[in-house]
Structure 1
Amino acid sequence: MASKKKTGVIVGVLITLLVLAAVTGILIWLFVIKGRESAATISMKRVPAQRVYSGHMKLDNVPYNQNLEDPTSTEFQKLADDLEEILKSNYKQVEFLSKYYTTSVVTAFSEGVLAYYWTQFDIPAADLEILPEFSEERVLEVLWNGIREQGKRSGQSLHISQVTASRTDPRMARNPRADYECFFRLEANTLAQSFQSPGFPDQYPAQSRCQWQIRAPEQNAISVRFSHFHIEDDCSDDFVSIYDSLSPDESQAITHKCGQRPPSNPLEVVSSSNIMLINLITDSAVQRPGFSAEYSIIPLTTSKSCGGVLSDAQGNFSSPHYPSFYPPALDCKWTIEVPAGKQVRVKFTMFRMKEPRVDVRVCHKDYIEVMGTKYCGEMSSLALTSTTSSLAVMFHSDESFTDKGFQAQYNAYDPSNREWFLSGVYI
């Protein structure tokens, strides 16, 4: 009996040991082997990242030369090489940026002298945690501090008095000195000229990276009208970006567009000066016809003409170049004056000043201001009335992102005519 009991105890111990061994094996598999597999899977999903920043530098001691507009000229290449070396040396002096710095490219020059550039940093998958530290502010601070220090040294041949930098879609970083099939330099004049996306009117190719630099003589702005515009609907894949600059600097973006526009409502934009940059990016598996556009010049005296005194009993006024997009960097003021005893009624029949990341309750970028209140965004109807015989309407556009603007009607009315007053819509 004692022998059987002893045998039972031994069997129980063995079973317990076997169970513990099995549990241990499962735990090892879950936390070690499976954990390694999961980590490997996560690692496989982590892909390297790029950060590109673009902007311009103002050169105070360089005389402007027309040859600087040609990337194949000796003048362009010499000055571009010098500036690219300055950019590289500044970023290389800071360990954090030096580790990921790849290249800097000067893409164009314009009167001033302004040099347009972009800089690329490549971050490996293992270091993606540092991405939040790659801010525009930090990159610009490093660059500007380095340039100021260099400026203090004797013998520094280039004096840079201004520099900008903003984060840029890497797909728009183009090198005009490289052998690209889709890079164009256009010269605008009084006669309308045309350009098209590759493949138009059939289909543009997938993975297109096209860029058009447009220039005009000094004291002129550039007008571009897209008579046909049909891009894939998803703006994250395929889009056209237009800049009031020769650099894809978001702080000087005029607009980003995709989708289809009917010929009755064409996309029309106007620059604030004699330069403009247009990019076409196509990444989707769906190809569309693309676009056809015409470009020409507008004298700056005309393009920036707006505002004034309106003294007729009724009339119309609109944002500059309506129904085209209004230019960036404008301030206009209309003063409407009607006979004493009358008041002013203004009705905006079209009102659109939409911009990314703008709170319409604040209107800190583009806006109409009437009687101390700012209006922006998009409104189907807006009607305002004065309390006196005079009403000031102010319009402001900043340096980035424009829209169709507004069209308005005004008229004088007698406030004692209660029936007429109640027939309108007022805000």
Structure 2
Amino acid sequence: MHHLTEIGSQREDAFHGVHCEISLFFRTMFPCGGHLVTDSGIVASEGFPSFYKPNSKCTWYITVPESHVVMLSFRLFDMEADPTCRYDYLDVYNGHTRLVQKLGRFCGTFRPGALLSTSNTMMLEMVSDDATGGRGFLASFNAGKPHMEEDQFCGGRLTKPQGSVKTPNWPNSNYPAGISCSWHITVEPSNVIEVKFEKLDLESDLYCRYDYVALFNGGETDDSRRIGKFCGDRAPATIVTNGNELLVQFVSDLSVTSDGFMAHYSSVPPESRTPTAGGDFIYRPQPTSRPQKPTSKPRKPAKPTPKLTTKPALRSTPKPSVKPKPKPTKKIGTLHSNFCPHDFVITGKVTSLSPDPSGSATLEVFLIKAYKAGSLKINKSGPIKSITLNSACKKCPGIIKGRNYVLMGMVDAQGNGQLSPSNFALIYQPAHAKSLEILSRKSC
């Protein structure tokens, strides 16, 4: 049982790093929502760092001085995980109303990247259901200078009849983790804007939750809907706006990065182009042999039951299935029959899979939770924990980069995790957390 105490204390360490920063707020609990009118400050879920309340809805309105923008940076994030954030979530809006662009919906334990408004206001709305919870979120905000220069590092106001937008570091290296960029493009009133992507290579995800570029019809404060949200490594077709303004938002999380994107825009007469259908379309990365229809909506899975009513273990957001379905992961027996025979039992996201010339492979795994760690080496970088595993062959036991797994294996004398074809591996689902928690309490 010692390993459970150790893992629990590791989770507390993630919050200890900012203890001093928020200690002044401990005497008076963070309230449920409110109006924050200042050039900088702290915003957090109700009662932080205690667990947030069930069945609640809190709204915060942030206002910084005129001629500035709101820069929001998350320090800690711990909410119930779900692929589409249906249960507990935090919505961030580009203004003080739900009619403006939504900068993102967040849940789970992945800390979102920095968010940037295009005016001096921003709204945060947090919703929780009746069961599983977490500690919530802690973020700081401050007034930043608006994007005015066209050659600045990230984002800008573009008014020329043609130009380009690209991710930072393009094309020399990958874009940074944990950033947000916003470009506001305006051309002459009688024309529309045509956008062509030269290349797109962002972290792939069915719902583009982690790294993405989103395009919106209209400017900064109108209620135009999103044209599209894109990720993966296949560039979308040519995009045409329905007016002379376009808002482009790029967001990356704190884990996997990639090459990025380069897109060119030009001002064109409206009669020569057909506007791209707007809406909440999300580009779903697919192999080119079997593309998925972009207009289809995924079926929502049934809400897992029963939900935990006690303080939950740290969980991350599992990634939903993608068609065509990957080959089933190699698994012999059940969670119960495999738990004790293996040296380690963890859940995590495979962020890197590198084959070796010898035919083996090295896996980098972002740790969600260790239910049985033993002498396994766990790397820590602030609140982020990761594990390096060695697999006997590239495709065993059937691991795919970017997915969440339950992994069981052996540990060598140096503390290195080893995977073989006979080891247990299973695509992680929220229902597994309760079973693994029960198994971890039993004596092997």
Give the TM bin, normalised by the shorter chain.
0.3 to 0.5
* More helix as a share of residues: 1
> What is the TM-score of this pair, normalised by structure 2?
0.36
> What is the TM-score of this pair, normalised by structure 1?
0.37
Larger Rg over CA atoms: 1
